[in-house]
Structure 1
Amino acid sequence: ETELDWTRTELTAAITLAILISALFAPLAGRIIDFGKGAMMMALSCFLGAICLIWLSLVTTRIEFYLIWAILGAVMAGSLYEPCFALITRAKQGQAKQAIIFVSLVAGFASTICYPAIHSLSESFGWRTAVQVFAAVIIFVAAPLMWMGASIVERNGRTFPVLNNQPVDRQRSFLNTPAFWFLAIAFLLLAIVHGVTIHHMFPLLADRGIGADSAVIAASFIGPMQVAGRLAMMAAERRISVNAVTASCFLFVALAIVFLIGTAEISTLLVGFIVLFGSAHGVVSIIRPVVARNILGGKNFGAKFGAMALFYLAGSASAPYLGSLIWNFGGYDRLLMVLIFLTVIGMALYLVAYRLSQATNN
């Protein structure tokens, strides 16, 4: 921001662009996984991402900057959580939950390593060199590991055949089922609630009367609470159904926002907000593919989850702007009430999708 003399809005707009393009490419990534080419896609996406980072370290114009982030959006669709979890779920079917939890627990420490590393490298050598170092790590460490790990999962997995010999309308027949739309919109609403809360975290807390130092400490505990939520899910998975866990996540998010509203009067409620909000999001991020398979079925799962990811990522990308729009019309008090409303509607839509799937199965 300082070196290039660009506004923060211009910089963050590039990230929003990347998320939107990632959403558009998510269905294609799902189809590639269905064809058994997930390992190749994920490894090549990693490598292309590293090339983009090298290019980013040399950027001098806004056009270049936005073009790089646009390509990175497509790369994200082929290499991050969404394709990884779709690959695992397609290969392991009903046994995917444990593997997804394990991957997310390990990946959950990425921010613990990356934030200090990028800060230290940037302070010592400049941001351009720091980006180049990360590109080298991706090329020589991440991409090879991605290829080996994803190849093993695909090779040893039990998969449904791809129904490619059927007409396109039959391959996409899941789009005609109400359960898909209820489920996709439910998670889209949850993505909006999460995105608005995260992107407006500091002004929200300031509006509640929370000091800057306390706000930073509180925000730093959301990541650990995500890991804690995943560990709690591992401990309780034999006693609680996936449906109960998912419904609880919606409920926890709604209660977390209620606690956030209450921090204006009782500051200690901030602890409850962090615990409930962080743990719920940590579980949601890993349970979505499991829920999608349970409700929509395993055939052509990559395409189904890719289509769902389009909705989820679109919600995440639009959240900062939607939050600002609502804030302009009523401040943060009204925004928080809207977030509670969206969460409750999302939970209702999820429960309808679950009931429809149960009726279909029966």
Structure 2
Amino acid sequence: MNAVLIRIVCALGLTQIIGWGSLYYSVAVLAKPMADSLQCDVSWVFGAFSAALVVSGLCAPHAGRAIDRFGGRAVLAAGSVLAAASLLIIALAPALPLFIVGWLLAGAAMSATLYDAAFPALSQLSGTRYRSALTALTLFGGLASTAFWPLAWRLHSAFDWRVALISFAALQLFMCFPLHRWALPRAQLRTQAERDSAALRARVAMPRSLLWLGIAFALNAFVFSAIGAHIVAALSEATASVADAVWIAALIGPMQVTGRIMEFVFARRVAATRVGVVTFMLTAGAMLLLWQAGAAGWVPWVFALVYGAANGVTTIVRGNVPAELYGREDYGALMGRLAQPSFFAKALAPVMVSLLLSGGLSYAGVALLLAVLSLLALVTYLAAIGPDRHAGEQSQVLVDTPQRSQHRGAV
């Protein structure tokens, strides 16, 4: 990567750490203090967060089309301002109604600032280096939970949760907005006539494989969201020790980054569609390991290693496979369309798992159910890439050929 692209990746990387940390990960640490302050059950806090994910799913296609039309710089900068406003509303909310409104706005901000907006924005600026640039960007994003879980807790402990969110709003406004607005170059965009022609072609000849791919990504998102919400409790049931469960769960974050580094070192010249097959298989294998986590003391540790690596590489697969299969024309709209069912799945998963647990199902039973969903995700993914595999490999060649770049402003 040249110096300009390195600057772009670093700028986007910092905003992804702040975006994921403030809008997504911080609620896991601050939910209980929020509930205590608002004098409500903690389920209301997680319900508001789930509603934010639903809103994000509804807004994702619109955000993607806006990126195609106005460029990633404009949309991401506007998203940062909206993120700052939403965090301030949540922090200053005196009661539950305004608190929920703040989270609904945060959902809209997620659709305009997190990976599904950053990937098409990066695509507009990276040209033939998109895949390596995307991998580098996800290395930054993998640090979000590691940075913001302790940061959120320290700010709450020293002050309170409201100060923590006000601080995060300031980061959005005074770091993310300037980085999006001035550190990202202006992309060369297509004319309105070109966009209308592409939209017409998409409506007339939308490949069936896109539906299968969306289902595969949504099923995977359901599994990852369920694990993210319940992993400590599930491991505690298997190991009979909360302390051991926390230490095992702590491996997942570093393994996400490790998995992405391994993908870059060993698989960067392998088609992303093939990397995806391995990743879906590893996810299913990890769920089977979690199902049997109580069988032996080493099983939970292996689960954390496999699951963390699979989770990390899945982000790269989600950003690269659509480009291989369908090219990067109208990439924002494509990513927004694929992201929509995944956001809905993320929102539903923690609630549905909680209902199953309250109905008497054990965490081992939940893990077996998630293993089945992971295998179903693998089957639908194979259905998605099967008819288009040859075309996808040709598309990757075209994407990597400077003369055929769809993005005239690529660096």
Q: TM-score, normalised by structure 2?
A: 0.81
Alignment partner of 1:126 out of 160, 170, 187? 160
For residue 258 of structure 2, what is the aligned residue in structure 1?
A: 228
Task: Determine if the alignment matches structure 1 residue 215 to structure 2 residue 245.
Answer: yes
CA deviations over 1:297-331 (Å, ceiling 9, x no partner): 22212111100000111111111122234442643
Q: After superposition, where does 1:193-342 map in structure 2 within 5 Å?
A: 193-238=223-268, 240-327=270-357, 328=359, 330-342=361-373
Q: Which residue of 2 aligns with 1:86?
A: 120
Q: 1:352 aligns with which of 368, 383, 408?
A: 383
Q: How many aligned positions are there?
A: 357
* Matched AA of 2:170: A
CA contact (8 A) 2:142 2:312 kept: no
Structure 1: gaps (5+ residues): none
Measured against aligned partners, the alpha-carbon deviations of 1:175-231 in whole angstroms (never above 9, x if no partner) come to x42110011001111111111122121221233234100111111111111000001
**1:135 to partner: Cα distance:** 1.5
Structure 1 357/15 Cα, relative in aligned 2: closer, same or farther at 3 Å?
same
Amino acid at match of 1:335: V
User: Which is worse superposed, 41-50 or 119-128?
Assistant: 119-128
Report the residue type matching 2:163 in the other structure. Answer: T
User: The residue matched to 1:260 in structure 2 has which SS?
Assistant: helix
Structure 1 equivalent of residue 85 of structure 2:
51
Residue 90 of structure 1 contacts residue 302 of structure 1 at CA under 8 Å; is this kept in 2?
no
Q: 2:215, 2:377 within 8 Å by CA — same for their partners in 1?
A: yes
What are the equivalent positions in structure 2 for 1:99-114 lying under 5 Å apart?
99-114=133-148
Deviation at 1:296, TM superposition (A): 2.3
2:367 is matched by which residue type in structure 1?
Answer: L
Q: CA deviation at 1:237?
A: 2.4
CA distance in 2, matches of 1:201, 1:110: 18
Secondary structure at the aligned position of 1:3 is classed as: helix
Taking a change above 3 Å as real, the CA distance of residues 335 and 161 of structure 1, as seen in their structure-2 partners, is farther
- Cα–Cα, structure 1 residues 167 and 283, in superposed 2: closer, same or farther, change >3 Å? closer
Equivalent residues of 1:208, 1:261 under 8 A apart: no
Matched, 1:73 2:107: yes
1:210 and 1:91, CA in 2 relative to 1: closer, same or farther beyond 3 A? farther
Q: TM-score, normalised by structure 1?
A: 0.92
Q: Judging changes above 3 Å, is the alpha-carbon distance between structure 1 residues 3 and 30 closer, same or farther for their aligned structure 2 residues?
A: same
Counterpart Cα distance in 1 of 2:116 and 2:338: 10
Report Cα offsets for 1:213-257 as digits up to 9, x if no partner: 011111111111100000101111245332221111111111111
Per-residue deviation at 1:173?
4.2
CA distance in 1, matches of 2:200, 2:97: 38
Query: What are the residue-to-residue correspondences of 1:153-192 with 2, within 5 Å?
Result: 154-155=186-187, 163-166=194-197, 170-173=201-204, 176-192=206-222
Q: Which amino acid aligns with 2:112?
A: G
Aligned equivalents of 2:118, 2:240: Cα separation in 1: 38
- Cα deviation for residue 54 of structure 1 reads 1.9
Q: Distance in 2 between matches of 1:173 and 1:89?
A: 25
Between stretches 13-22 and 318-327, larger displacement belongs to 318-327
Matches of 1:189 and 1:134, distance apart in 2: 31
Aligned-partner Cα distance in 1 for 2:180–2:275: 30
In the alignment, what sits opposite 1:16? 50
Does structure 1 retain, via aligned residues, the 8 Å contact 2:84–2:169? yes
Amino acid at match of 2:266: A
Amino acid corresponding to residue 353 of structure 1 in structure 2: A
Q: Equivalents in 2 of 1:167, 1:105: separation in Å?
A: 33
Deviations 1:126-184 (A, max 9, x none): 222222122222211121012234x32x53x7x7766433396544446x421100110
1:89 touches 1:290 (CA, 8 Å); kept in 2?
A: no
Q: Deviations for 1:56-106, whole angstroms, at most 9, x for unmatched residues?
A: 221112110111111111111001111001222344355311111111212
Distance in 2, Cα, partners of 1:94 & 1:353: 24
- Cα distance between partner residues in 2 of 1:283 and 1:250: 10
**Partner Cα separation in structure 2 for residue 118 and residue 325 of structure 1:** 28
> What is the CA–CA distance in structure 1 between the aligned matches of 2:225 and 2:243, rounded to whole Å?
22
Question: Which segments of structure 1 move beyond 6 Å, counting only runs of 4 or more?
Answer: 159-162
Which AA in structure 1 matches 2:95? T
> Judging changes above 3 Å, is the alpha-carbon distance between structure 1 residues 213 and 16 closer, same or farther for their aligned structure 2 residues?
same
Provide the residue aligned with 2:20 in structure 1: none
Asked whether the equivalents of residues 252 and 280 of structure 1 are also in contact (C-alpha less than 8 Å), the reply is yes
Matched with 1:4 is: 38
